[in-house]
Structure 1
Amino acid sequence: MKYRSVFDIIGPVMVGPSSSHTAGAARIGRVARHLFGTLPDKVTIYLYGSFAKTYKGHGTDIALVGGLLDFDTFDDRIVKALTLAEEMGMEVTFHEEAVEMEHPNTARLVLEKGDEKLEVVGVSIGGGKIEITELNGYTLRLSGNQPAIFVVHRDQYGAIAKVADVLAKHEINISYMEVSRRAKGRTALMVIETDQTVSQSICEEIKHLPGMLNVVTLD
């Protein structure tokens, strides 16, 4: 399918053949890119449900890759995303999966660069809105609509309170918080959506708290 402009796919207000398959897909890719922090060398994309069945016709493939290149949903470079990714040295592979997921518009993105690897599962829930439901094996529910901070920490008492105390000291209001762990007493992932952007200096302060292993922000 050939497109003349990005508006053939997404439309002026994120409306294309299907906002779920285009605008939502672009947002999933862009959140994954921001979490990874840099352009990956290799991306493997697993598509489920209706994503797997119609991703080429609805432009889901170029939308996901456009997001991975850090293009917003209205960026007219999205139509050339596959070519641009190749020119930038980003290898992209798509896999159509037959496994039934909880939501039909689901994509699993595996981003790699050297020894760095990130695995993100995103769902396009309609109208260009998304949810990130998994990050490196941790279950979560992130809208991507607000600034967020991700804290990997040892699963021990007091960890949540210490992070909350730092945010409160800097007058950062928490709008949503969720903690996920793989096994009791091992490591856990704290996901906090906030009303204000969390600065790098605040992240460093949290990093130096006892039991903290890694801190990443999403603006």
Structure 2
Amino acid sequence: MRFKNVFSIIGPVMVGPSSSHTAGAVRIGRVARQLLGRTPDQAVITLYGSFAETYSGHGTDLAIVGGLLNMDTDDDRIPEAFSEAEKAGMRFELRRGTGTAPHPNFVKIEAAADGKEISVSGASIGGGNIEIHTMNDFAAGCSGYYPTLVIAHDDQVGVLASITAAASDAGLNIGFMNVDRKERQGAALTVVECDRRPDGALLDALSSLPHIHGVSVVDLTS
């Protein structure tokens, strides 16, 4: 695990009781919320491993629902996340997953709103830190620590070059990039961690590129 700063060791400012089971869970929920782009109308939350065994006592269920409502780790409303979800009109279902998972503290979130559907799976790895394993069933490999571009596109020659050129023209430094595809010349997803939040002009530029089907920003720093 890569420690970013002292808070990676002692944990973030948060509503307890656990940085792994609560703070990390909030952040995974926020990733799903921001990938969707709004509060979900409905969500299915499937918990694995230690998350599945202890979620009620440790508030993991409340934390994930709070994250789906875009609450941060220190939001005083997290203990009331279920009632806040009801106020927001968000329906959700909690499930215990079967089989093995990549990490003991693992969750898959499937959420939908206005006809758009997304999925995020990730692990809470300690100190409030997370690893996002998949987005929309593509490998993601990002940390949520930096502002992140999520770009859906065709697997075609020149697409990655056009993405990096647009970022460079906007003065945006890329710290990490992961690309996954379903098949050659099929659907693909590129995840880009950046040193600052991409602005609207860059998002418009990326959206207008050939073979790009969708651009989202996940930013847990704001």
| Structures share fold, TM-score greater than 0.5 | yes
Q: Is the 8 A contact 2:46 2:94 kept in 1?
A: yes
Unaligned 5+ residue runs, structure 1?
1-10
Unaligned 5+ residue runs, structure 2?
1-10
Structure of higher CA gyration radius: 1
Counterparts of 1:168 and 1:114, CA distance in 2: 33
2:106 corresponds to which letter in structure 1?
T
Q: Aligned to 2:161, what secondary structure does the other structure show? A: helix
Q: Aligned to 1:40, what secondary structure does the other structure show? A: coil
In the alignment, what sits opposite 1:32? 32
In the alignment, what sits opposite 1:100? 100
Q: Deviations over 1:115-156 (max 9, x none)?
A: 211111021011100011111110111111111111111101
In the alignment, what sits opposite 1:195? 195
In the alignment, what sits opposite 2:74? 74
Residue 62, structure 1, aligned to residue 62, structure 2: yes
Q: What RMSD in Å do the two structures reach over aligned CA positions?
A: 1.4
Note the 1:84-123 alignment, pairs <5 A. 84-123=84-123
Give TM-score, length-normalised by structure 1: 0.91
1:82 corresponds to which letter in structure 2?
F
Q: Aligned to 1:20, what secondary structure does the other structure show? A: helix
Give TM-score, length-normalised by structure 2: 0.90
Q: Aligned to 2:77, what secondary structure does the other structure show? A: helix
Aligned length: 209
In the alignment, what sits opposite 1:161? 161
Residue 174, structure 1, aligned to residue 204, structure 2: no
In the alignment, what sits opposite 1:8? none
Counterparts of 1:187 and 1:165, CA distance in 2: 21
What's the offset of the Cα at 1:15?
7.4
1:189 corresponds to which letter in structure 2?
L
Q: Is the 8 A contact 2:16 2:22 kept in 1?
A: yes
Q: Is the 8 A contact 2:15 2:75 kept in 1?
A: no
Q: Is the 8 A contact 2:26 2:63 kept in 1?
A: yes
In the alignment, what sits opposite 2:42? 42
Larger mean Cα displacement after TM superposition, 168-177 or 209-218: 209-218
Counterparts of 2:97 and 2:194, CA distance in 1: 35
Counterparts of 1:112 and 1:38, CA distance in 2: 9
What's the offset of the Cα at 1:54?
0.3
What's the offset of the Cα at 1:19?
1.2
Q: Aligned to 2:123, what secondary structure does the other structure show? A: strand
1:37 corresponds to which letter in structure 2?
G
Counterparts of 1:117 and 1:15, CA distance in 2: 29
User: Measured at CA, do residues 217 and 13 of structure 1 come closer, stay the same or move farther in structure 2, by a change above 3 Å?
Assistant: closer
Q: Is the 8 A contact 2:46 2:96 kept in 1?
A: yes
Q: Aligned to 1:130, what secondary structure does the other structure show? A: strand
Q: Aligned to 1:156, what secondary structure does the other structure show? A: coil
Q: Aligned to 1:55, what secondary structure does the other structure show? A: helix
Of all paired residues, the percent bearing the same amino acid is 44
Larger mean Cα displacement after TM superposition, 15-24 or 160-169: 15-24
Q: Aligned to 2:13, what secondary structure does the other structure show? A: coil
Q: Deviations over 1:34-72 (max 9, x none)?
A: 111111111110000000000000000101111111111
2:112 corresponds to which letter in structure 1?
E
Name which structure has the greater RCO, CA cutoff 8 Å, separation 6+: 2
Q: Is the 8 A contact 2:206 2:215 kept in 1?
A: yes
Q: Is the 8 A contact 2:15 2:76 kept in 1?
A: no
What's the offset of the Cα at 1:12?
7.5
